[in-house]
Structure 1
Amino acid sequence: MPCVRTLLGLLAAVAAGGAVAFLGYCVYFDWKRRDDPAFKRRLRDKRRARQQGADDPGAQLWDPARNEKLQELFLQEIRMGELWLSRGEHRMGVEHLSNALSVCGQPRELLKIFKHTLPPKVFEMLLHKIPLICQQFEADMNEQEYLEDDPD
């Protein structure tokens, strides 16, 4: 049995040494990468490009891929809202309709349509939900700005 313990001890030492060597390898090359002036320049360029993209909202607004996804989300939320309302689940229906309202490009027009098509009770519930939508949108925007300002 002492032979097995010795062998296991030797294997554990080799594994630990390999882990330490790998960690040292990672730290060394990360240090070399961060010290490289070209890396710092590329990082600054990426940050400037991201900042310019954030400063120019028109560039993001007319991104066709993004608009298609928003349109799909909008239609899906309208369908889900209609489905829940048809089942008599007003709370869930209002939840989905408010999601559709938050991604809609013309929320005032959509509210006018909702006013004429929804039952008064449901429309009232939706109107009470609007301030919560605005607060959530502001919180999401603040979080996004915080993440963009983060240097790492």
Structure 2
Amino acid sequence: MSQVHSLWKTATGLPVVGGVVGKRAFSIAFAQKAPYFATIHPRFTVIEPNHVELVIPKRRSVQNHIGTVHAIALCNGFEAAMGALAEVTIPSDKRWIPKGMEVSYTAKASSDITCIAETTQEQWDNADGDLAVKVKGVRDDGTVVGEGEIRLWVTPKNK
């Protein structure tokens, strides 16, 4: 089990209100991994191999001039979700680095946004170079506001 997954399990296992305090503590700690993650105030809700979800709260600091969640804030959410997914899913003998992102914005992000990153275990087991992580952002009413993929470069760790 990766350090990120172990920390998530420990934090969410805390007895205070079903792990809510632990999820908040984990989210704050994870956001320090890359300082721009902290700009969106992510709230991780699901972390498991091949599936991660986090919420970007709709607040002034992530809004654009029309009062919706800014496209780059969505991308930061997608990358944070993908990073957590990669850390808890990748086999221990491999390493990863992002190499590109393609995202389409499909609707106004007018509420809190749930960012979802997904892969299959087969993708990781057979990864030799490129691996595509599917990402999407969903409004409170279920409308998809953005979707795409983040391409990773997955290679064996040096021995």
- Do both proteins adopt the same fold according to a TM-score greater than 0.5, normalized to the shorter chain? no
Larger Rg: 1
Q: 1 or 2 for the larger relative contact order (CA 8 Å, sep ≥6)?
A: 2
Greater share of residues in strand = 2
Greater share of residues in helix = 1
